[in-house]
Structure formats: C-alpha cells, structure tokens
Chain A
C-alpha cells in the first residue's frame, strides 16, 4: 500500500470506530429495553384497560420477542429508518436533523467564546504567576466549574432579561414573530445571513447570546486551567530557556515555541469539553426553551420512547467518532512527531 501516512491514519481510526458503533447499537437496544416502565401502558393513555394496552403493545411491536425486535431494528437502520418517536409523533431522523443543528450552533458558539476568553486568560496567568491576572483566572475557573449551568442561566435571565430588559425573552431561537430562515445549514445565524435577512440574523444572534454565555462560562474553566498548566510546564522547560538564552524576542518565544507546544493538551481537553458541553446543553436548553437535542433526549427517556433514545444515542456516538477523528487529525497537523510514526 502506498497511501500517504495521514490517509492511512484516518482510515485506521475509521476502522477502529466500527466495532465501537456495533457495540453501541447492541447496548442501546438492550439498555432501552431494560428500562423499567412499560411504554405501552404509558401511551395507552389515562383511561386504558387491559385490552387497549395489549392493542397498543401490538401496534408498537412490543409483543414480539427481543431477537425479532432487534432484527427488525437492524433492518430499519440499514435503510436509514430510525423509527418514529412516539412521544413527539415525528420520525426520529427528522427530529435529529432539525434539532441537532440547534444544539451544535449553541455548543460551538459557546466553545468559540470560551476559547477566545480562556486561552488568552490561561496564557496571561501562566506568564505572570501570582499576579492579579492569575488570581482572576483562578476565580473565573472556580466560579465556572462550581456554578451549575441552570443556575447561571437563570441568573443571567433574571439580570439581563427580567431586570434590565436588554436580552430578548428566553423563548427559543428567534423572536416570536419571525419565521426561521430557509434551511441550509440549520444554524439560524448562518442561514439568515445566506438569506440576506439582517434583522433575522440580529434576532438569532440576540437569542443565542445568553445561552451561549451560560454554556461558555461552564466550558471555559477546564480550557483556561489546561492552558495555564501546559504553558507553565512548557515555559519551565529546557528549550524555552535555550531560546531565551539565544536572545529570541519574548513574543517569538511565547507564541512561536511555547504556545504551539502547550496547545497539544489543550486540544485534547477541547475534545472532552465539547462532549460534556453537549451534556450540559440539556439544562441550558430547558432554561432558554432552546429546541435542541438534549431536551429531546431527556423527554424521550422519561417516557421510555425506545426509538428516540436509540436514535439519539446513535447520533451522539457517530458525532463522537467524528469528533475524535477530527481531533486526531488536528493533532497530526500540530504535532510533527506523529508524522514519524511509520
């Protein structure tokens, strides 16, 4: 094989994901069935009797044996059919396709915001240990980690919407009288710009601000912490001393050598932060009535909505496989040592 090493790396990582996905499919199927509670009873409604519950169980296909259910699930999956969520009444695939962009838009904005604040803060704190910047960094990090997101969210709503009236009502992604822009990416900010609708863009941005800040406050802590620690370690190492001794400018030392090396653990952290930011999304989505995937999954779990839970876990698994792949690829770009692995 004469494939370039990077392509081979990507290929190998993709192959490694296959058994993980197979495992996830089996485990989610078994786990959702192991959930206590009987969806047939739940969906039979307030005044159902034995006969109507049995009827509904049959309609849902829950009267068949588990292996039979599993085979028909696999068959559906192969054709891209994730089933119909019984709690929302919509095909699971449609739900995921409409809701995932909302969650991603929120999470990515929050992450960018967090990086923009956390990385400079971490670098400054590392270059001036025990100065006021370092203390500020420590304070922000502690606060960010220890304040639950729903609390930060509610506090921000109280201050900026309820008291000051600067923020729009926390009622979702757009003002109540706007229609969503034509769907291209599913990100309202981008789609409204593509549609050339500046006022919709403004509304989308205004609605995005508070939830994104809430989530950013939560995610910037590990990033700032990691940047600071990594920078301190790198700044204390031999090659930085050598560089300084060689008379390189402070700027070159800091950004040319130190930061690039310190970025590696930060990127790993970013991958992790992204995943738990998606988890923390659930609470933020609830507070801001954000129509994302987290709140959808929670609702589905509460009512034992098998198809929705399976679809959600599968979508998340695919997302994580893709994310890990992306991180690995970025790694090879940033870290020259990885290319030598032959």
Chain B
C-alpha cells in the first residue's frame, strides 16, 4: 500500500503507543474497511507564531488555535449557502461553554449559566475562569483589547462571578455588538488555575506560559508544535462545547510554496488545502479529483481607495470619474478569476435594501468619466501613484495594471508603486498617506455599521482615504450599537450606503472569496469570518 491509501484509512494506532518507538509503523497499518479517517492532514501557506492569541505579535494564522483548542461562552450557528456549502451564521448565536444566557429585564446586563464542562486537566470550568479570561482580554492591550472594545467590553469591573456556574456581564451601553463579540476568537476561556500557577510578578497574565502551552477546554489539544513546520492536534474526548469531532488527530502542515501545496492536493496526499489563490480555485474546480469550496467573505471588499488629502481627490466629481474609469469586468476576470461577488453596476443610486456589501451604482463608462472630469479643475488629467501591498500581489498586481490602463483613457497617469508588507500598515493605514491604493478590509462582526465604523470614520485604522463627513459620522454613531430591528435602523443604514455611493472615497471592485481545496471525501468544512480552518467539524470517509 502506498502513503495515500494509508492516509485514507487513517492511522489505527495512536501516537502515544508509538512515541517510544520513535515513529509510527505506518507500513504495517492496513485499512480494515471503509471507515472514517482518524488522522487528517491540512496544509496552509502561513506560519503559526503563537498558541496564545492575546500575546503581542501573535499573527492571524495563529487565531486557529483559539478556535480549535479553546471554547468561548458563545459561538455562531451554521447555515447552508445557496451552493450547498456550509458557513457560520452571524444571525444565530449558540452556547459553547454557556448552557443558556439571559438579558436582565432592565437590559443592563446578561447572565450566563455555564455547562458542566471540564478543562483538559479534568478541572471543571467555572465562572472564575471565565472572569479571569475576559479580564485578561480587556487588560493585555493591543489587538485583543481593541476587539473587545468593539463589543463595549472594556473594563474588568464589567465581569462578575455570581456563583461557580453563573457569570454576569454588565453592559457599559446597550449594544447589538456585545454578544456577537463574545463569539469571535478573542474572548476564549482559559484554565485560570493552570495559568495563575505559571504567572509571575512581571507576567501576571502568564503570557510566556500560554504562548507555548495552551490550557483550555476546547475540542482539540495541541500534541506537538514545531514552529514554522507543523501543529498537531489531538482530540479532547471530553469536549462539551459541541458534537465530538470525528478525527482523532489533525496535522496542520505549513507549506510555503503555493505550487507545492497545489501538487499535494492534486495528488491526494493531503485532505485539505486552506486559502488557495483564486486562479487555482478556478482550475482545481474543473478537476474531478479535487473539491473546491468558495465562500464570499462576509463584510469584506476589495476596494480602490482615493485619498482625500490628495488635492484632486478632494473633488467628489474626480472620485466619481475614477469610479467610472475602472474596468470592473476585466478585473473580476483577471484578478478574481470570477470567484467572489461583483460589486459594480447597480441600477439605482439609492440602495433598495440594507444588504452589505452591495453593488455600487458605477460601471465602466469612459465617456461619462471624461465628462465628469471635464467639469473639474483637473480636466487635463493629473499624475498619481497607485499603490498596493506586495503581500496581496496575487490580486493586487493584475488589478492595479488594469486600473492604470482604465485611468489612462481619461487622462489620469497612474504610476504603480508596490509596497512590501511590513511597510504597508505604516504608510497606508497609520500614516494614511497613499493617494490612490488598493485595500481589502473585512469586518469580523457582520453588520454594515461595523464596516462603516472602521472604514468611514476619520482617524479609524481602515479609513485610509481620510474620509471625513459630519453626517456620515453621526449616522455611524447612531447605528453602531442600535439593534438591527429598530425602526430607524434601516433608513439610517440606507442613507449611509447612499452617501458611500455618492461620495465614493472607497470604490468597491468585488467581494472576494475564501477558497479551499479538499479531497472529495472530506465533509463538514465550514467557512468563518475569521478565515481560519475550524477543524472540529471535518470528517473524511474512505470509499
């Protein structure tokens, strides 16, 4: 038998038994019959740099450890997409460690009843653990604290232990974002007894310990972490957060070269290749031996940003002229490989509903663009650098070239400026000094006001356009915490979207996909807003 049929069958032995032997006797293991695989192999192109999301410098790929090894109070439900694939459901909150929860009659707090769950070491999960963990998230600073703040979770005083199994959060303000924010990867629940035992005076939150040694109650434990190479998960058989996963072990391998990852999935030596480029998704999708699942990333857009600090773009008509000079269709074909959702060509300048993202009322029309430009002080055109992040060159490069061509047709000379990933955040998002650039912001919490809060409020990180408008600001402030069923919510959101249509500081190109390639026998894959692999529901059946 070869390696592939072995993986199909899954290792029947456990690692523990063979640790002493130094290797798994994989040549001796034969598939008994059609069965569910015990071991799954998942590859990614990115590196996990910490097992603790709260640590300074923890990168995005590491968030998967929080998802797979820890539980939160809440999680999101699952919905079936129109194409039959699965996605998380922002509209449906479910308990992960919480058995139930109840908003106080006065609406000023929420009380959680905890499940009878245990941590990996057998100790029961208590309200004290929950409090310690949430205190940590709002206290350590950096990204976790900012994300908690988005849900109006800001101070340890908000978190109250009622009894061992009852936990209360006092609201700073009534906000629709608070409960969903408890289901994002940040507020994960840590075994506080273990953590405190490993804390020091200099390191009260046990950052150094949890960085390498997770201590949670989640579905998978970390069996082995070789930084830069692999992370091996083993199942926690006592998991209470959801249905017990099918796979006993999951090996996450880091394979930097995209070509190599593609060869591996095509040959069937691995079960799932995460976050593949659009081009591969299109080509692999045509094969019978590989299953490709593409899910539009909610609340995420690839946009062309005009910077209002740059003289010509101060004029709304110039921005609109640019929006009419973008070759949308070509970009969708050559950069997105037709994967994702088009975001141009809406019929009406007024939004009909509050769906977000939704197509903007622009399409490629060079005559209209020229006419608009001729009404401005810049009718003879101007020169502008068009920048993109080299880290996103897969779609950024073809997109920038096509936009350069389009702009040339109305007399705007764009010079392409590629910026390495390390500098991108500084110049584009912090200093906000790029006159014209590509951006791919997506908001975790799936409401239009949340996107607008980050991208259309002056000074906020993703408003790299320096857009500043009093009415927009007021609309965002009013809607950000308002319940979505409030009677005034929809009209306000429509007004916000209409303003974004008209002012166009950000010109949407398309809504990108998260594409994943897998073996045809793999089931249960679910797309998440955090764009990490949730390995818990994955099952693989051999034919």
Contacts and interface: CB of A to CB of B under 8 A. Distances in A.
Consensus secondary structure, chain B interface: mixed
Given A42-B425, A162-B267, A286-B257, A89 B57 contact: yes
B253 A176 contact: yes
B141 A56 contact: yes
B251 interface: yes
B142 A303 contact: no
Contacts of B145: 52
Contact of B142 (A56, A288, A291): A56
A53 B143 CA distance: 9
B190 interface: no
B3 interface: yes
A89 B49 contact: yes
A170 B420 contact: no
Interface in B178-217: 211
A303 B421 contact: yes
B11 A287 contact: no
B56 A59 contact: yes
Contacts of A56: 56-57, 141-142
A45 B143 contact: yes
A177 B24 contact: yes
B260 interface: yes
A247 to B, nearest CB: 58
A77 interface: no
A178 interface: yes
Nearest to A200: B23
A45 B142 contact: yes
Contact of B143 (A46, A170, A200): A46
Contacts of A182: 22
Interface stretch (A31-39, A222-230, A237-245, A256-264): A31-39
A47 B57 contact: no
A216 B56 CA distance: 41
Interface string A41-65: 1111111110111011001100000
Interface stretch (B226-234, B292-300, B377-385): B226-234
Nearest to A43: B57
A207 to B, nearest CB: 12
Contacts of B426: 36-38, 41-42
Contact of B228 (A37, A47, A291): A291
B11 A289 contact: no
B21 to A, nearest CB: 9
Contact of A161 (B229, B267, B425): B267
A310 interface: no
Given A88-B228, A175-B26, A289-B255, A169 B267 contact: yes
A302 B423 CA distance: 9
Consensus secondary structure, chain A interface: loop
A190 to B, nearest CB: 15
A194 B145 CA distance: 50
A165 B264 CA distance: 11
Interface string A2-24: 00000000000000000000000
B404 interface: no
A176 B50 contact: no
B256 A295 contact: yes
Given A41-B430, A47-B143, A168-B3, A178 B253 contact: no
Contacts of B230: 172
Counting contact residues on chain A (CB < 8 A from B), the size range is: 35 or more
A179 B226 contact: no
B264 A46 contact: no
B227 A90 contact: yes
B416 to A, nearest CB: 18
Contact of A170 (B23, B24, B260): B260
Contact of B55 (A41, A52, A89): A89
Contacts of B19: 179
A144 B41 CA distance: 35
Nearest to A199: B23
B338 interface: no
A299 interface: yes
A48 B461 CA distance: 7
Contacts of A52: 141-143, 145-146
A86 interface: yes
A158 interface: yes
B47 interface: yes
Contact of A162 (B39, B266, B270, B461): B266
Contacts of A55: 141-142
B111 interface: no
A232 to B, nearest CB: 40
Interface of B: 2-3, 11, 19, 22-24, 26-27, 39, 41, 43, 47, 49-50, 55-60, 141-143, 145-147, 150, 211, 226-230, 251, 253-257, 259-260, 263-264, 266-267, 269-270, 420-423, 425-426, 429-430, 454, 461
26 contacts: A38-B426, A42-B425, A46-B60, A46-B143, A48-B146, A51-B141, A52-B145, A55-B142, A60-B56, A89-B58, A90-B227, A157-B263, A161-B267, A169-B263, A169-B267, A171-B255, A171-B269, A178-B24, A179-B23, A287-B257, A287-B260, A289-B254, A289-B256, A289-B260, A302-B421, A304-B422
Given A38-B425, A48-B143, 12 more contacts: A43-B56, A47-B150, A48-B142, A52-B141, A52-B142, A89-B211, A95-B228, A162-B266, A170-B263, A176-B253, A288-B260, A304-B422
